[in-house]
Amino acid sequence: MKTICTLIISSILFWACSGAKKYYKQGLKYEESGMIEMAADMYLNALKAKPTFIEARIKLKDIGQKHITRLSSSFFKNYSTQDYESCLENFVKLKAYCEQSQSLEISLDYPKSYNDDFNNALELFSEDQYGRSKQWLQKKRYNEALQHIQKIRKYNPDYKNTQELYVMASCEPSYQSAIQTISQKNYSSAYQSLNTIRGITQSYKDYTDLWELTTLKLKKRILFLPRFTKGSSNWELELNQLLSSLQNPGIEIISEPAVLKPAAQIELHQNVLAQALGASHVVLFTVTEISQNTVGPRRTSYTAYQEYRYKKNDQVYTDYKSVPYFNVRGERYVQYKFQYSIFDKRQNRITESKSELVKISDVIEYNEFDGKYQDNLNSLFRNRPNGSFVIGEGAWRNLFSARNRFMSYEELKQQAFEKNKSMMSSIINRLP
């Protein structure tokens, strides 16, 4: 265990040292090219990778200070020319580099009076951007306002009521779009607009009420109705119970009223039915052409070869004896034709009508011996061995212990219904 830990630690140190040297060499190249900022970053990374790297420490103290001096000069120049945005950007980089170096016990200097200059620049810059954003907001130019607000948030997020302005500039365009699309009963578009607001805040104006209204309008309320086809009504009723148990987000399944079961012309009154039950969609379906059948099982005779050894004249020989067996194959299946039509109450028409074949099969295949078998199955071969390696013998031997009974028709029917349910779930999910 101690050896393993030593190897792991050694591996980590090796990769750390390799990375440190790589950063250091890259820093030297940048330094030779006069790229002081890039070189300073490489020396910092080298020392982070290996804090005991003396050469990197010396270079960081030298080139790092040059980098800070250049940032300080840029800061002073920008401050003097009232280019406050560039001024802030330079000072933030300066402070971040000094703090990282300090964490590695390397102190870099810059005029401390710049701290006060930075605070003054921050106040002036924030006030300027704040005023500009307010002007754009008054003109309802939200994108332009947001550009200035984001600059304040980058350097001074707690300035005055910047967060409130950010929420307004970000949400108001989507809010106005939602109001308009709701008035046009275009709830899908309204949902997209409200979802944008939702990603920012859930307390903007009357967002909550609009969200509840939109999601309610978009919620699909599905009513499944079997046609009670002669000869298969029991299958339809059983399938209907399963379909009515669908549970998908944004979908509500309406239970079928018992009084409707005797109705013979449901299709002619789907609009009235949807209106009365508050359904957005009515799915009318039939189950026909039911077929339950078993093919086989068919038994085909084959010969396998059992390996055995015998001794003759003090020498051991290997030979093979014939073993008759049967390969048995069969299929049992349940299938039916599922026909459905979908009436969309919102469009007041049938939007989809289709027929699907639903089939579930149970295929069995197994091997069985012609009589009792008491030898070693691992020494039984499908073909007489000729000295070459044979692929698939293991799978073939497994067939002697494979399942040899069909599933019941009832089990297959339930699997077919589950397949049908999954299919309808996908269909309902893509309904508008």
The one-letter amino acid code at 62 reads D
| Residues of the chain falling short of pLDDT 70 | 1-18, 256-269, 387-390
Question: CA dihedral defined by 260, 263, 269, 274, rounded to 10 degrees?
Answer: 10
Return the SS3 of 251. strand
- Count of C-beta atoms within a 10 Å radius of residue 105: 9
Q: Are residues 290 and 145 in the same domain?
A: no
Q: Are residues 190 and 226 in the same domain?
A: no
Q: Are residues 49 and 100 in the same domain?
A: yes
97: alpha, beta or left, given left = phi > 0 and alpha = psi -120 to 50?
A: alpha
Query: How buried is 56 (Cβ within 10 angstroms: 0-12 exposed, 13-18 middle, 19+ buried)?
Result: buried
Return the SS3 of 29. helix
CB 171 within 8 A of CB 137: no
The one-letter amino acid code at 10 reads S
Residue 116 falls within a domain, yes or no?
no
Cα(168)–Cα(158) distance, integer angstroms: 16
Q: Which helix (H) or strand (E) holds 298?
A: strand 281-312
Q: For residue 186, which phi and psi values (nearest 5 degrees)?
A: -95, 80
How does pLDDT run across 363-380, given as a tens digit for each residue?
A: 999 999 988 999 999 999
Q: For residue 312, which phi and psi values (nearest 5 degrees)?
A: -145, 125
Write out the residue range of the structural domain in which residue 226 sits: 221-429
Q: Are residues 247 and 193 in the same domain?
A: no
pLDDT for residue 391: 75
231: alpha, beta or left, given left = phi > 0 and alpha = psi -120 to 50?
A: left
Q: Are residues 226 and 184 in the same domain?
A: no
- Count of C-beta atoms within a 10 Å radius of residue 96: 10
Q: Are residues 251 and 213 in the same domain?
A: no
pLDDT for residue 267: 58
CB 413 within 8 A of CB 333: no
Tokens of 164: 């409130």
Last residue of a domain, which of 218, 236, 266? 218
- Count of C-beta atoms within a 10 Å radius of residue 98: 19
Q: Are residues 181 and 302 in the same domain?
A: no
pLDDT for residue 175: 97
Question: CA dihedral defined by 261, 267, 271, 273, rounded to 10 degrees?
Answer: 0
- Count of C-beta atoms within a 10 Å radius of residue 419: 15
Cα(167)–Cα(196) distance, integer angstroms: 11
Number of folded domains that form the chain: 3
Global pTM reads: 0.58
Return the SS3 of 5. helix
pLDDT for residue 209: 96
Rg (Cα) of the chain, in Å, rounded? 39
Q: Are residues 145 and 95 in the same domain?
A: no
Residue 123 falls within a domain, yes or no?
no
